[in-house]
Each structure stands twice: as structure tokens, then as C-alpha cells.
Structure 1
Amino acid sequence: MEVNGSMWTHRYRGRTPAGTAAFAAFLLIVGLLVGGPLVGGQPSAALAKAPTLTAVTVDGHGTGRTFDGVGAISGGGGNTRLLTDYPPKQRGEILDYLFKPGYGAALQILKVEIGGDTNSTDGAEASHEHSRGAVNCGTGYEWWLMEQAKARNPGIKLYGLAWGAPGWIGNTGGGGNFWSQDTVDYLVSWLGCARQHGLTIDYLGGWNERGYNTGWYEKLHSALAAKGYRHTHVVGADSGWDVATAMRGDSAFDNAVDIIGTHYPCSYMSAMTQCSTTSDALATGKQLWASENGSEDYNTGGAPLARAVGRGYLDAKMTAYINWPVVAAVYPNLPYNTMGLVTATQPWSGAYSVGKSTWASAHTTQFTRPGWHYIDTAGGYLGGDRANGSYVTLRSPDSTAWSTIAETLDASAAQTMTLKVTGGLAGGALHVWSSDFSSTDQRDYMVRQPDVTPVSGTYPLTLQPGRVYSITTTTGQGAGTAQSPARGVLQLPYRDGFEHTGVGGEARLLAAQQGSFEAVRCAGGRAGTCVRQMAPTAPINWDSPADPYAILGDLGWSNYTVSIDTRLTQDGAVRLLGRVGTQSGFSPAGINSYDLSLSHSGAWAIERNNTAHQVTVLAQGTDTQAAGDGWHRLSLGFDGATITASIDGRTVGTATDASYGSGQVGIGTTGYVPAQYDNLSVTPGPAQTYAGTYQLVNRNSGKALDVADQATADGSAVDQWAGNGGANQRWTVQPTGDGYYRLTGVQSGKALQVPGGNPVSGTQLDIRARQSDLAQQWRIVPSGDGYTTLENRATGMLADVSGQSTADGAKVIEWPPNGGANQQWQLVRTD
């Protein structure tokens, strides 16, 4: 216990330590004097303003809808891809944070994408049936993820949904047709694969966010019954509430849909302060779900998630909340690289970060079970005002256990709640857990508070602002203690002969963005394992169309040569990509990159693509020796602005272009052709170093990185200001090892940092005395045209001028990579 004036703080995890009972009683007495016992440890707030009183009766005979669970989505798309390549130790830790009961998010529903060889946001997931009748139950990683989830929580519910589908489905010569019997059969075959993996799929949807076809849903429902999948409930329509209106007017359609699932009923990418439904949805009597919600940063999305889980029931009687996505295990150049419950973008270092969204989920999942019942009379808004916060109460079916989950995220003052228990529910001491969502310290999340005992038959509590609480009769809760290793650089040279990739699997670190790239036995007289583009026709897309390609590697790779063996036996072309950078959202064809293409006829080209889908030919020609069905080795080299293309060791062309200064590598095809690839290598070129003294000029504003007001104290803020040559605008850049640098202000002698290594987007940068803290280490990555980005080692985010401002004094913050000019800095030598 720390005593500081009138403020007491007391924190402990897990079971109440021996000897704290007297202390808890003391807190209870103090709390009663100010309106209730301390919950959250801040009586001064209650003294400053009389708390709003909310009296709640928790009745064991109270009625309400059946709770179905809180879950998350793997898919829509590719957001789990890199998790499979993590070191076993860190991979297991991440999976524990997601699925293990009493440890982290403890998810109760896992919704997965039924892969369709099409990009569905941040990648493409492999189909189990690329062509009609060729079913392969070993493709993709969703089977593995479901198995891992079930191993940690056997009671977790599984839910499958398609975002797209292979092009053969419903194909009558004019392109695919999702709403066809082919798709019904395709989904049933996927359920058969699940059985082979020992998995039971509890819920099955139609076509993600593409409306509904009533006849198709009726066929699906009938097929499930006929094929022995009566236990699999149909969710319709993973779009909007309009499906309920159609069900009300069509009894056959109504009978075919078991659960109504809608997307973003608490508003898209919002604070989620209010959720909505329709009278038709309520009148169906079906269970109503937020079958996709979220799309929020893993940290800043925590508070919206916590609001929506409770308010979804209070406002709209929704009994399940499913967050998109479960994890951001994607490369940071992809559009939604920080969304989920955990981020995991560096398999080579094992680094990951557990977000506030994990703990927002935990406050419900660790204190309830699917099948529990809401008690409608024990839920509402604190003091009758949604601005004060909300609360819901759930009980077990036999009324032997119950929990109240409350949130005060928007409250401006402490709230007093009293709980009176009736109807045979358990009494005795209540266990209280809380999370302070105003804190960036993980130790302030899922913290056990002193138990609360009844006073004259009533439990009094004081709830502090900005928090989430779980008040419960249950035990077994906790907060995981595993810690991430430091972020690091994927060192060159990098090589992969694909021999350690099992047939049907995906090569290490290779993330498909369109099409499907899987390991197969090599053809063309070559032994061993190769990677092949497997989609034979353009798929039924969810995103906009694109040619197949996959990416790999570190965005900081700058000067290097990437090489690969390729084989193509039909018209079309193979592609080798380099300096791959930012991809435009929902449009995989738009990506900053260079590529070398080689057609079956021997025609080659060096091309530059960008996020606006503008492809520019930088050089082209024909190599007759490279025509035909044989194996050929392609190489693409980068040295500053010079690009060199080689085929089978012969230099065939060069180009000069400074648009992109660094980036990943990749492979692809022009058209949906079955190209094969082998023996990938990335070898380093001349190293680029930055030791010296520089002024850093922002590309968007033309203004310099500046210590505000020429301050020199620890914690002084960093902003931008018109270049004036001042010592507060000059920075000494020194290597710290492992490819990172420390930037020290010439005037202050102190280092540029993310304060406290805070991983929350929008945190303003400051300066502090130099130390070995990872928050003071920056990776300087060329972005093209003489500009660079500054990537913080502790958080993986970039130095960014807030709001793309061009004004003097605008804050310099950290923000996820987005390719913006306000994240690019020119290093102007001043020494």
C-alpha cells in the first residue's frame, strides 16, 4: 500500500493475499463514508463530487435472452498469416492470450474464413478446392488455428464464413456465381474437412457483406440436414438487418436461418456508444448477433469494444459480439496492421503486443459462459444516463453463479452502485476485478480488487471513471504474464529452398495477397519441393480484382538483389517483386513496388506499380533464351536509384528510378497460371549508414523536427517548425546496433523517444536522457526520393506529423505505417 495524502493505491493479482482481510475491511469502512467501498482505489474522486446512485436487484429468477459469447474473427483476410511462423514459445504465448481461459481474451467464439483464393482485406486465404472436385483438406492455416483454440478451450464455438470463392463455382461461362448449388456443395465439403480435423463447426454463414439470396439459404439449410450437419446453425446474412424484414415475410426463409447476424450495429470504426437493431429483427424471436464488429486498433479499440459488448444487449438484445479481427499478424505495409486483440508482425524476432482490446474482452469472457442468461432487470445505464456508463448481469442456468459487468468509460465522476441479491443466487463475498482504460500500463488491466461483502443485505460499490469492472461469484480469473521479446531486423542474406514446407502448406513468411501459393512437388525434371500458384481461374472476388502475388520480408531492406527460379508452361508471365511497400486498402492490385516480369514467350519488363494502380514500364525487351517451359532464374537488383534485371545470370536491362527506397520482396503471376518457384534468395547490397548530425525535414510540410520552445528538460515535447537552423532542430544520429539508431538533440543532449514505449497510436514524441531503452531506438528506412521513415523499436510505429498538418507547432506523434508523406523525413546533413 502506498499512502500519499488522501490517496491510497493497492494492487494485487489473483487470489487475495494472506493478511489483507483487515485491510479490505478498512477500505470498506472508508468507502461507506464516501458512498461505497473503494473499487479502483481513488476515493478523492468520490469526495469531489457525490456519486450517482444506481440500485440493482440481482434476481435469480430474472429472465433475459441466452448469452452466446464474445469472439473474434480470423479471416477477412489473411490477418493470422504470420502467426504460424512465430517461434513456438511466442506463438504459444499469443495463442494463450487469445484462447486460454483465465489468462487473456478467453474467446468463446472463433469465426474463421472459408478461404477462396481472393484477397479479403490484408491477404488471400487458400481454398480447400481450387478446382471442381479436387478437395484438399490440408490447405491454409485456419484448421491449425481452430485446433489450437480447441486445445486451450474445448468449449469454444466455431463459425465458418466465406468472403469469396474459387472461380469454378457457379461458372456457366460468364464468371462465377456465389448464389449457386456449387457453393452449397462447396461449403458442405468444407464441413467434411473440418470433420477430418476432428472439428465440429457450430455456425455457418453465407457470403460476407454481400446480402442474401433466400432460395440459396433454404438449399443450404436443407443440405446441412441431409448431410448430417443438423447441429450446425445457419447465420444470415452477415450483412445488415434487412435480412430480418425478408424473413418476416417468408416463412421458408425464416425457417432456414437460425441466427440473425449483422455487421457493425454499433457503428463502423466508432466509439460504439450506442447500438441498434430493428423491430423486425426483434420480432423474429431469433438470437441476434453482432457477427462482425470492431475494425479498431488493438489499443484504442479497447474502450469501444467494452462499450459494445454490454450496450449491444441493452440497446438491441444482441447476445454475441464478434470482433474483427482476432490478431494483426500481418506485415505493417498492409492497410489494417494494428487491428485486433494482439499485434504480431515480426515472426523473426518473436515480438508481439497485447492490446487493451484483449482485456475488454476478458471482462466478459472470464466471468461468463455461453448458455448463461441475461437478467434484464439487472442491466441498464448507470444513474439512467448512458454518459455515466452501462452494466449488464448474467447468471448460470442453474443460478449457482452470476456476474455483473459494468463500464464507466465516459463517466466524469465516480458512480455508486448497490447490488441486492435475491431469488436463490449465491451471496457471500463478491470478487471484483477492474481495468483502468485511461492507463497505458498493462499492469493496470485485469487487476483483482478487495472482495466486497454485504452491508445490511446490500453490496455497495464505488466505480471510478474510465474503467471496466467485473463483479462476480466465480473464480479462476487472471491476467497473463508472458512478455514479448524486443523487436528486431530480419537480417540479410535470406534464403529459402522451400524444402521444409510441407506439401499443401505455405512457405515461411510468404503471405499471399491474391491467388494461392502452396508447396508442391517440383515439376520439369526438378526434385524436391517448390511453391506453385494454385488458383487456375480468377476467383469470385471480395476485394477488387488483382493478379496473384505474395510478399515476404522486412520493409527496411533497401539495397539488395532478390533472385528466384521460375517455371511457366503456358501463356502468361511470372513476376519477381522488389522494394514492395504500401498497399492501398481493399485493393490489392494497388501497391508500391517494382517487378521483373518474364512471359512464356521470353518477353521481359521492369515495371513500377503504385497504390493508384498506375503501372509504368521502366525497361523492356525479349530474351529468346528464356522462352518456353524450362526453369529460369530471375534476379532483380537495387542499388540506390539503379535497378538491374537479370535472367539466368545475364543482365537483360537496367532502369533508374528513385520512387521507392526500400521494401519487401515477392513473387506473382500475370493471369491465373500455374507457375512454379524455387530457391528464393535475398542478398545484401552496399550498406547505407546515417551516422552524423542532421536536420530532419518532413516531406508533407517541409518543416523540421523540433523540440518545442527549445526546451531541454526530460519529457519536453517534440513538434515541427519552420527550419531555422537552431540547435533544437539538429539531431546527432548514432548507431545502437542491430540496424537501429539513437537520435540525440544537439541543444538538449537528450534522445528522441516514444515516452514509456507507449504503444498507443497518437502518442506525442518527447526527449529524455539517453539510456538503453528500446523506446529511444529508431530504424531509419529509405522510402524513396531521398526520404526515410523513422520506425520506433519499442512500438513498431513511425514518427508522424499529426493530422498531416503543415502548421508550425503541430505535434509529432507515433502512428502505424500508412505511406503518408507526413511519415517521411529527409535527413539533411548539418555537420
Structure 2
Amino acid sequence: MTGVRRLRLLLGVLVLVVGGVVGVAAVPAEAATSITLNGGSAGRVFDGVGAISGGGGNSRLLIDYPEPQRGQILDYLFKPGYGAAVQMLKIEIGGDTNSTSGAEPSVEHTRGAVNCDVGYEFWLAQQAKARNPDIKLYGLAWGAPGWIGGGNFWSTDMANYLVSWLGCAKQHNLSLDYLGGWNERNYNIGWYENLRSTLNSSGYSAVKIVGADSDWGIANDINSNPAFASAISVIGAHYPCGYRSAQTSCGVPAAATNSGKTLWASENGSDDYNSGAQAMARGINRGYIDGRMTAYLNWPIVAAITPNLPYPTMGLVLASQPWSGHYTVGKNAWVQAQTTQFTAPGWHYLDSSSGYLGGNRGNGSYVTLKSTNNSDYSTVIETVDAGGAQTVNFAVTGGLSSGAVHVWSTNLNSGNQADYFVHESDITPSGGSYSLTLQPGRVYTVTTTTGQGKGTAAGPGAGGLSLPYADNFDGYATGAEAKYLMDWQGAFEVAGCGAGRAGRCVRQMSAQAPITWDTLSDPHALLGEPGWGNYTVSSDVLLEKSGYAELMGRANTQSYGGAGGLNAYHLRVSDNGAWSILSSNTNATVTTLAHGTVAALGTNRWHSLALTFAGSAITASIDGVTVGTANDRTWGAGQIGYATSQGETAQFDNLSITPGSGSGGSTGTIVGADSGRCVDVPGASQTAGTQVELWDCNGGANQQWTASAAGELRVYGSDCLDADGQGTTAGTKVVISVCSGTTSQQWKVNADGTITGVRSSLCLDATSAGTGNGTLLELWTCNGGGNQRWTRG
């Protein structure tokens, strides 16, 4: 057969297969880009590339990691010449209220009672400073205790509260460089002016104020109000390149540019620790090229929360298993390193040596920064969207070093850690000129500096938190957070026990409804594995005033925004003796499964509570006596938790979680033999009919499958793996549906690793033997392939 059979473009060469004869024709090369690196160019002062700890408890579990893993993670985040080398750390000023993925404690829960040793943000800042004394620190509030201003954030109380917080920082030998107002809640001109005056009179005149950690709207008032302008040093905007976007364009309105103020992307990113790398690479460069923004702060710094909470994999490092010590350094960290390991705050951008390759955004972007010694320089280049290789010819002038040039690169299209932050061959310029060929999908740094490096530490493999688990809370300092206990609303801290009990307990410290940032819910805190199924959780409880306290179990998905609800079961007890077994969901709908009364529990008296889960059976007891039972299959697995009514300062002690057997079966992942990836509900959707797929195992609730006694494979407790439309033919989609007991939702896990549908007798199959992320699952005739064999994790 003659004629052209196929066309392929391989490495810039067009390969034509014609009648079995291979011909090679050169593809016209793109014209080389010429860049003059001119040390005499004007440019703004570089303030740093950093990240945010806060906006919701995202660093919570990091402090609970054992050594040496905890130190290794901190090195990857902060140590110069090792990892992300974060140049600016923004920390939350806790307000006892949820601020995205959890709540952080206030240093002053009630007026006048200041405790500088609460939480973990000061600890984290100390660890950052110990590794990099030059790191810049920035404080920002998302919410505040309700006593402030009678619930008014924009009050003198709040300005004074920030001064108290700065005093606490000083007690921890920390000096803040920057201070913000109220995260993403606009601004109040008079309040900012008062804050500036208050800081000056309190000895903090060196602290610069950032406004308004929202959008660019504040620039208009800065330009028209000289007093306001004198109070604000930096205009910080959130997501100026687009919220969770590709960050291809990062424009700034003229009012901000003309203000003369320093401009920052004071929050950006919010993407997965690996898949966000491409967007971050664009944004760090283009924020300056498009908008002259001199700082880029990624939200958040670390994903140190359990996978049932919102945004569980965002950050630079995934560190969600302190019990196993497992952690993973993300591709995002190495994108940051391509700037941070080769620059320092105080360097200058060179405007004439920054721009788009060949003047085309699609080719990629580059920025050049000059050291304070006026000789060394670094050029950071991204070719994320480039269609092929391209050559750049550099000419060095204006006093910049003409010495050896070191080249480092990160392959953003690779999933192999060995391809990140690689030291390529050095280049020796000739007559101040040199050339470099850039491959697509990369970040490069071309530099005359030395001292860079890539850390080699690695954590152990992932592993679950095993049962039994117990904690009497006596081993912690007052004000600390008990190990693994994560606040969502309120502040659960270790305190001296009440009612004459010796030792320490966990106390809910928020005595009033807070000034919220997110949806207000009852104070509650969670602990443990989302995959725990059958167990008994017990704890002692003391009510300090009229109200209620709760022991929670099988708590899984916690919603963010909207209703702010939680999928969970609750044993609620009130001081008057009323009790109830409740089921709640992410829509904040609460259903009473059983209720009754016992003798009044009163206040300042200790009582013991217990909840037992065995399949669909739920048993509640108070003071060792069973008070009620319920039969409900809504939630098949989840964490335990403590909760109180709003403002109830209850105490908890002697936590115990013991495993059960029962009829609920095991909970865990389903992992493909060929792919090594997990059966996953895309986007953690709970919409019936969503087809399941393969995805990297990440511990999420959408990858936790409970094998029920009825032969179901349940996710989220109430949804079942199902054959779409109860189909029985090869190619039928495998989806999730509300569990209904139909045979299309029943599965047989076989000794050979296959999983077959009871109704169809067909195998759970990765479509077309796919192994990549996003491969959809279906029913198919059993054939022994590795795409039809699975293991339970």
C-alpha cells in the first residue's frame, strides 16, 4: 500500500512513513529569543516568595509528627539550599473560629486572660526562624473572639488585641515584619488609621501594615486619602491571577499601580501540592511581569490535616499522618525553590530583562533579579505551555557577572521526584554571551549564585492510626492542643481539670460565639482516621454551665462554607439529663435517631459517655448504663470527636477508642494491581450516578470503601458502588448510588483479586486497561487482566 500512512512529530523532527520507507524532514525551528541581562535596568525591590500557615488549621498535624520526620519536613519548608526555602511566612492570628480547614486558638479567649502559649503558629514561626533567620513574618486574622468590640471586628478592641498578639510573639523571640487587617472582609479606613497609630504608640512602628488582603479596591481610597495612604505600606490582593486558575495573566488595575505602594499577591495558589505546580510557575513570574507584584504567597504552606477536611492536599508538602511519620514533598515545593534558592528579599527585579519568550505568552516567561552585591543575578524561566524546544541567547551587561552560569531545572510534566530541581550542566559565557536550549513544560533557573541543594530525607511509608487508642491528657502543657485533636470551631485546649479532679483535661475555651470568617457551627474537634468503622469511643465529660456536650463517632466529610455541616453521629447530653443520638450531614441537617432523659447531669460534675458502632447498630451509654440504641446505615466509617453548645466551656477526659468486630466489615482503599491507584469518586462528588475512576491514593473519604455485611462497597457511609442502571452487560459504567439493597450494589471480593458484581457476574474493570489518573471504571467480562485485580488497603 502506498501513500502517507501517519505523521508524527518527535523531538522537533517530522517523521513520514510512506510506503514502508521512512523519510526525515526538519521542522522549521522557532527563531531564537535574545535576552539582554542588563544590571543597569530599573526594577522594583523583591520581597519574597512564601506561603501561608492559617486560613484554617492546615498546619495542625505538623507539630504532632515524631522526630526525625518533623524536622525533615521543616527543613524542606524553610532550610536554605534544601527545599522550598520559603522566604516569607504568613501566620494566622487565631480567633477561635473556623477559617477554612479548621479553627485556630486565640491568645485571649476572654477579655484580659492572655495566654501566649496556645496553638502552634508561634512554634512554626520559631522553627522557620531557626532555619532561616532572614525569613519575613506576617500576621493576619481571619476571625476573632466574640468579646472583641461586642462582636465588631473594626473596633479599638481589635487593634489592642493585635498589639497583645504581637506581645506574645515577642515573648517567643519573634518580631513581625508585616501585619494585616481582616482576611477577605474588605476594609475600614478609620480602623486602619487607628491601627497604625496604636502600633506606633506601642513600640511597633517598624511593623508594616498590609491592606486589605482582599482585592485591589483599597487602592482608590489610598489614592484619595493621604492619611489612609500613610497608614498602609503594602497593597495585598488575593488571587490576582484568578482563583485556583492557570495563572496565565496577572493584571493589576491602574489605581493600584499608580498608588506608589508595594504590591503583593498576598494569597495565591490553593492548589494540590503536585498538580498546582504549573499554575504556580506561571504566577510567580507573571505576577511581576504583568502587575509588578513583588511577593507571591501560596495558600497554604503544608497539607497537615486529615483527608476528610476541605482542601486536604493543598500546599508544598503533604503531611497528614503524624502517627506513621509519612510525608511527601510536592512538586509545588520545587517550583518555589526555583526562585527562592536563587534570590533573597532585597534583590531587585530587572524590568528590561523580564518578559515573555519571543514576546509570546505561549512560549513562556522569564524574570531576572539582581543581587544586592550588584553583580550576581538569577533568571527564572518557565516554559509551561511551550509547544517545543526553543533556544535563548543571553547577553550580559550593566555590571552583572560574566562568570560561570549554573542551570537548574524542574520537569513539570514528570511524576518522578528525580526530575525535580536538577542541577544541569554549567555554562561558561564567552564575551558575556551564552545560549541555552529550553525544553517545554519546565522551570529553569540560570544563575551566577551557588549554595543550592536538594534535600535527600524521605519519610516512612503511609500507615493508619491503629486501635485501641487512648489519651488521659495529663502529659501536655496547659494551653496545648491534645495530640491529633483538630479544632473545627471553638478552641479545645488542655487545662487543669475541674470539680476536684487531679491532672489535666481538654476544655472548650471559647466562652461566646466568635466573630466568624466562615459559617458558624457549634464548637467541635475531630481525631483519628476517616476509615474507622466499628469501634467504641468513650470519654468523661463535665459541663461547666447550662448547655450540652457531645461525643461524636463515624465523623467523616466536613463541609466548608454553605451550611458548614458534618457527616457524623452524636451522643448529646444536657445538664438537665436530656440525651439524644443524632445523625448530622454536610447540609447541617440533624436527625434524631433516639432520645430520652436520665437524672439531671448538672454542672461541675463528671460523667462518662460512650458510643458503640457495630455495622448499622449504634449504642449509647451514660455512666456505664445503656440509655438508647439506634439502627442506621447512613455513616459507615469516620473519626471521633468532641462538641459543645455555643459558649459551653465543657471539659473532657480519659478518651478511649477500642476496636469492634460487629457486622460492618472493613474500611479502606481499593487499589488496582496494574495501576497502583485507588478507586476514587471524582472530585469527592456525592451526586448519584457519578462514575468512579482511578486516582492517586491520597487517603480521602472519597477513596474509603466499607465492605458491609450485605456485600456492598460503601463510600461516605450511605452511597454504594453500583452498576449504572442496574446494567449487566460489558461496558456498563460503575457509579455511586444511594444504597438501596439492590443486587447491582452487591459485590463479591474473590481470592484471585477480582471483584465481581453479584447481579452481573462481570468484573470491576479499568477501562481499556488504563492505569493513569482519571481512568474510568466499568463492568467487563472477566479475563484475568491486571486491570481487573484489586487489593484492599
TM-score interval for Structure 1 and Structure 2 normalised by the shorter chain: 0.7 to 0.9
Give the corresponding residue for 2:748. 829
Matches within 5 A, 1:60-459: 60-171=39-150, 176-459=151-434
Q: Which moved more, 1:306-315 or 1:50-59?
A: 50-59
The Cα shift of 1:658 comes to: 0.2
Matches within 5 A, 1:485-524: 485-524=460-499
CA distance, structure 2, for counterparts of residue 830 and residue 163 of structure 1 = 48
Which residue of 573, 580, 590 corresponds with 1:605? 580
Deviations 1:525-561 (A, max 9, x none): 1000001000010000000111100000011111111
What secondary structure does 1:452 align onto? coil
CA distance, structure 2, for counterparts of residue 48 and residue 812 of structure 1 = 45
Give the corresponding residue for 2:506. 531
Stretches of structure 1 that go unaligned for 5 or more consecutive residues are 1-5, 9-30, 35-44, 692-738, 745-749, 768-773, 792-797, 814-818
The Cα shift of 1:471 comes to: 0.2
The Cα shift of 1:416 comes to: 1.3
RMSD in angstroms over aligned alpha carbons? 3.2
Aligned-partner residue type, residue 122 of structure 1: S
CA distance, structure 1, for counterparts of residue 539 and residue 177 of structure 2 = 43
The Cα shift of 1:788 comes to: 3.8
| 1:558–1:782 contact (8 Å) kept in structure 2 | no
The answer to whether residue 457 in structure 2 is matched with residue 478 in structure 1 is no
CA distance, structure 1, for counterparts of residue 140 and residue 25 of structure 2 = 48
- Residues 1:72 and 1:788: Cα distance change in structure 2 (over 3 Å): farther
| 1:57–1:419 contact (8 Å) kept in structure 2 | yes
Deviations 1:172-226 (A, max 9, x none): xxxx000000000000110011110000000000000000000000001111111
- Residues 1:252 and 1:742: Cα distance change in structure 2 (over 3 Å): closer
The answer to whether residue 609 in structure 2 is matched with residue 634 in structure 1 is yes
What secondary structure does 1:252 align onto? helix
| 2:536–2:611 contact (8 Å) kept in structure 1 | yes
| 1:565–1:680 contact (8 Å) kept in structure 2 | yes
Aligned-partner residue type, residue 492 of structure 1: L
The Cα shift of 1:415 comes to: 1.7
| 1:519–1:531 contact (8 Å) kept in structure 2 | yes
Aligned-partner residue type, residue 58 of structure 2: N
CA distance, structure 2, for counterparts of residue 588 and residue 74 of structure 1 = 24
Matches within 5 A, 1:733-748: none
Equivalent pairs, count: 711
CA distance, structure 1, for counterparts of residue 393 and residue 25 of structure 2 = 15
CA distance, structure 1, for counterparts of residue 425 and residue 622 of structure 2 = 70
| 2:713–2:747 contact (8 Å) kept in structure 1 | no
| 2:713–2:720 contact (8 Å) kept in structure 1 | no
| 1:109–1:159 contact (8 Å) kept in structure 2 | yes
* % identical equivalent positions: 55
Aligned-partner residue type, residue 275 of structure 1: C
| 1:374–1:394 contact (8 Å) kept in structure 2 | yes
CA distance, structure 2, for counterparts of residue 821 and residue 585 of structure 1 = 22
CA distance, structure 2, for counterparts of residue 424 and residue 139 of structure 1 = 50
CA distance, structure 2, for counterparts of residue 451 and residue 296 of structure 1 = 33
Q: Which moved more, 1:402-411 or 1:81-90?
A: 81-90
CA distance, structure 2, for counterparts of residue 602 and residue 785 of structure 1 = 37
The answer to whether residue 656 in structure 2 is matched with residue 681 in structure 1 is yes
What secondary structure does 2:425 align onto? strand
The Cα shift of 1:353 comes to: 1.3
Q: Which moved more, 1:679-688 or 1:354-363?
A: 679-688
The Cα shift of 1:73 comes to: 0.3
- Residues 1:67 and 1:786: Cα distance change in structure 2 (over 3 Å): farther
- Residues 1:154 and 1:786: Cα distance change in structure 2 (over 3 Å): farther
The normalised TM-score by structure 1 is 0.81
- Residues 1:741 and 1:313: Cα distance change in structure 2 (over 3 Å): closer
The Cα shift of 1:626 comes to: 3.1
- Residues 1:790 and 1:666: Cα distance change in structure 2 (over 3 Å): closer
The Cα shift of 1:629 comes to: 3.1
Deviations 1:21-76 (A, max 9, x none): xxxxxxxxxx9xx9xxxxxxxxxx99655134221111121110000000000000
- Residues 1:476 and 1:502: Cα distance change in structure 2 (over 3 Å): same
- Residues 1:620 and 1:690: Cα distance change in structure 2 (over 3 Å): closer
The Cα shift of 1:457 comes to: 3.5
Deviations 1:288-331 (A, max 9, x none): 00000011111111110111000000000000000000001001
CA distance, structure 1, for counterparts of residue 669 and residue 94 of structure 2 = 41
CA distance, structure 1, for counterparts of residue 192 and residue 595 of structure 2 = 51
| 2:543–2:649 contact (8 Å) kept in structure 1 | yes
CA distance, structure 2, for counterparts of residue 766 and residue 128 of structure 1 = 41
Deviations 1:436-477 (A, max 9, x none): 000000100000100112245311111000000000000111
CA distance, structure 1, for counterparts of residue 360 and residue 737 of structure 2 = 41
CA distance, structure 1, for counterparts of residue 485 and residue 208 of structure 2 = 35
The Cα shift of 1:489 comes to: 1.5
Give the corresponding residue for 2:788. none
CA distance, structure 1, for counterparts of residue 101 and residue 25 of structure 2 = 46
What secondary structure does 2:475 align onto? coil
Give the corresponding residue for 1:548. 523
Give the corresponding residue for 2:622. 647
Which residue of 748, 751, 754 corresponds with 2:677? 754
| 1:576–1:666 contact (8 Å) kept in structure 2 | yes
CA distance, structure 2, for counterparts of residue 630 and residue 585 of structure 1 = 35
CA distance, structure 1, for counterparts of residue 51 and residue 466 of structure 2 = 33
- Residues 1:573 and 1:764: Cα distance change in structure 2 (over 3 Å): closer
The answer to whether residue 547 in structure 2 is matched with residue 568 in structure 1 is no
The answer to whether residue 593 in structure 2 is matched with residue 670 in structure 1 is no
| 2:563–2:588 contact (8 Å) kept in structure 1 | no
The Cα shift of 1:354 comes to: 1.1
What secondary structure does 1:629 align onto? coil
Deviations 1:786-830 (A, max 9, x none): 754689xxxxxx9999x99x99969999xxxxx9979x9955127
Aligned-partner residue type, residue 29 of structure 2: A
CA distance, structure 1, for counterparts of residue 237 and residue 712 of structure 2 = 44
Deviations 1:124-146 (A, max 9, x none): 00000011111110011001000
Deviations 1:689-748 (A, max 9, x none): 979xxxxxxxxxxxxxxxxxxxxxxxxxxxxxxxxxxxxxxxxxxxxxxx878768xxxx
Give the corresponding residue for 2:32. 53
Aligned-partner residue type, residue 291 of structure 2: A
What secondary structure does 2:68 align onto? helix
| 2:129–2:135 contact (8 Å) kept in structure 1 | yes
- Residues 1:375 and 1:789: Cα distance change in structure 2 (over 3 Å): farther
CA distance, structure 1, for counterparts of residue 663 and residue 628 of structure 2 = 24
